[in-house]
Structure 1
Amino acid sequence: MIMIRNLFAAAIFAALAAGLLTAAIQHFRVTPLILHAETFEGEGGGHSHGEAAADHVDAAGTADHSHDAVALTAEDEAEEWAPADGFERTAYTTLATVLAAAGFALVIGAVSMFSGIPITFANGFLWGIAGFVAFSLAPAYGLAPELPGMPAADVLPRQIWWVGTALATGAAWLLLAKTRAGWAFAVAAALVVIPHIIGAPGAPDEPSAVPAHLATEFAAITLGTSLVFWLVLGTLFGKLNDVFARNRVAVPAGATA
């Protein structure tokens, strides 16, 4: 029970640090690109701001829900709610990023516990690399981070493909961590490749007013920020796990931990 409590505490503290750092990077590097892209909405094809709300991705590779739209009455034209630019938008984005970080930290903590592979300072970097590849890099190979105003397939098929790709890639990492047998390498390779053979849902053939260089810069910065997020999360998670484990051992027998 104490081990689970310590693992949970390490996950939450690591997620808070990684989430706040990532939110700061997003504020200065990612959000300005989104705001710039929004000025092109309506000039060409691509999804509307409401659809784009589900498409903006944070550094962890998850949807940025700070732009979620709320439908109003049927009598009115469809209007959308979005946080106001400035402090409100930054606060919502920060909250979403920290909550996403906590979710990912708890996921890898659960994987560690049930697989019997501890997260330590020595291997926390590798946990971070595995998380980045599974949840960011592999899905981005088929579904690159998209700016508002860019054409995109329906949300549900993309979400299904994203989740399937992340799970398959994560399973490949876990398999290789548990065994080095030849068959394991073959199965892991198949798990990684199969989602891309199936293929991500394709975007409709529509024009986009968003400049290509802006989309490229957004994708590169988003993936770079994601890499920082996962390396900080994995390394700090492992360090805190070690610290809490040492403290547990240091408690005299029969004393309250």
Structure 2
Amino acid sequence: MVTRVLTVSILAGLLAGLLISALQHVTTTPLILKAETYEAALRAQGAPMQAAFSGEARIQLAHNDPKAGPDHAGEHDWKPQDGLQRTAFTSLVTIGTAIGFAALLLAGMIAANEQIDQRRALAWAVCGFFAFGLAPAMGLAPELPGSAAAELQQRQLWWLLTAMVTAGALFVFLRVEASWARALAALALLLPHLIGAPHPAAPESKVPAEIAAHFAALSLAIQAALWLVTGFAVGVLWPWAARRNAAPVAA
């Protein structure tokens, strides 16, 4: 069972990740690159003062850090270079995310004693997108570089609360027939949004609102596509893996 789960998760994630990576390359990636130009242009306005301060900061950090030295200089400033390297790293992250989605779908369906086929896997994928994509985005929309944001830890905690509560509420609402349980599940769906997502005191952004809105919409569409393609791949590959494992036994 464990081997089959790992095999299907990796294959489904690889197929979905490669497909969605190609889609990202022509949709969200150009918007990210455009947003970075706005961010860089605003930084360049204070370049002389910023450069002087940056140099002093690096010297001070090197002096205070016992591990700092020639071999460690600039190691925290590394990022993939634009072009092939950046595309490759983005694709690897997308594939890894798809593998995680596939494993999450399989774990949930197996724990719920659900038959795994294309239709049911797609239904679970829709619920996965609602719980881990759409519901959190209602409070914290996908953000471009240079966007104003609250403290990272606060956003992570709110996102985790929203995703877990939404996933649990959906499961209860769809699998439990008691009216009182469904009513509580509906109220639980509203709870994170009644608490409210953390936002900065001054919601200023370096990126034009039109680009930010376009990116948020495309990001949600890409995530929905990733969930659906992953769910479809899981629904196709799980019966195939079951038949493949049963073949030697029958022989």
Question: What TM bracket, shorter-length normalisation?
Answer: 0.7 to 0.9
Structure 2 segments unaligned to the other structure (5+ residues)? 44-56, 64-72
Q: Do 1:119 and 1:238's aligned partners in 2 also have CA atoms closer than 8 Å?
A: yes
Q: How far off its partner does 1:193 sit? A: 0.8
Distance 1:123 1:197 in 2: 31
Larger Rg: 2
The worse-fitting range, judged by mean Cα deviation, of 113-122 and 224-233 is 113-122
Aligned twin of 2:53: none
> SS at the partner of 2:18?
helix
Q: What is the one-letter code of the residue matched to 1:214?
A: I
Match of 1:18 among 13, 16, 19: 16
In structure 2, C-alpha distance between the alignment counterparts of 1:4 and 1:224, rounded to whole Å: 32
Alignment of 1:93-242 (within 5 A): 93-242=90-239
- Shift in CA distance, 116/36, structure 1 to aligned 2, threshold 3 Å: same
Change in Cα spacing, 1:162 to 1:206, as seen in structure 2 (3 Å) is: closer
Deviates more, 1:3-12 or 1:186-195: 3-12
Match of 2:36 among 35, 38, 56: 38
Asked whether the equivalents of residues 148 and 205 of structure 2 are also in contact (C-alpha less than 8 Å), the reply is yes
TM-score by length of 2: 0.82
Find the counterpart in structure 1 of residue 82 from structure 2. Answer: 85
Structure that is richer in helix per residue: 2
Question: In 1, are the aligned partners of 2:105 and 2:121 still within 8 Å (CA)?
Answer: no
Of the structure 1 ranges 4-13 and 71-80, higher mean CA displacement relative to structure 2 is found in 71-80
Q: Taking structure 1 as reference, are residues 214 and 116 closer, same or farther at Cα in structure 2, changes over 3 Å only?
A: same
Q: Secondary structure at the match of 1:205?
A: coil
TM-score of the superposed pair, with normalisation by structure 1: 0.81
Name the counterpart of 1:28: 26
Distance in 1 between residues matched to 2:185 and 2:237, nearest whole Å: 30
Q: Quote the offset at 1:247 in angstroms.
A: 3.4
Q: Which moved more, 1:215-224 or 1:75-84?
A: 75-84
**Amino acid of the residue matched to residue 208 of structure 2?**
P
The code of the aligned residue for 1:118 comes to: Q
Sequence identity percentage: 42
Structure 1 vs Structure 2 CA RMSD: 2.4
Greater Cα shift, 98-107 or 210-219 = 98-107
Q: State the number of aligned residues.
A: 227
CA contact (8 A) 1:44 1:207 kept: no
- Cα distance, 1:137 vs. partner? 0.3
1:122 Cα shift?
A: 2.3
What is the DSSP-based 3-state SS (H/G/I as helix, E as strand, rest coil) of the residue aligned with 2:118? Answer: coil
Deviations 1:128-174 (A, max 9, x none): 10111011100000000011111100111101111111111111222
SS of equivalent to 2:39: coil
Q: CA–CA distance in 1 between the matches of 2:230 and 2:180? A: 31
- Using the TM superposition, give the Cα deviation of residue 229 of structure 1 relative to its aligned residue in structure 2, in angstroms: 0.6
Asked if 2 retains the 8 angstrom alpha-carbon contact of 1:124 and 1:235, the reply is yes
Worse-matched range after superposition: 72-81 or 145-154: 72-81
Give the Cα separation in 1 of the matches to 2:155 and 2:115.
32
Deviates more, 1:81-90 or 1:184-193: 184-193
1:244 matched residue in structure 2: 241
Q: Which consecutive unaligned segments of at least 5 residues does structure 1 have?
A: 46-70
Change (3 A) 1:139 1:206: closer
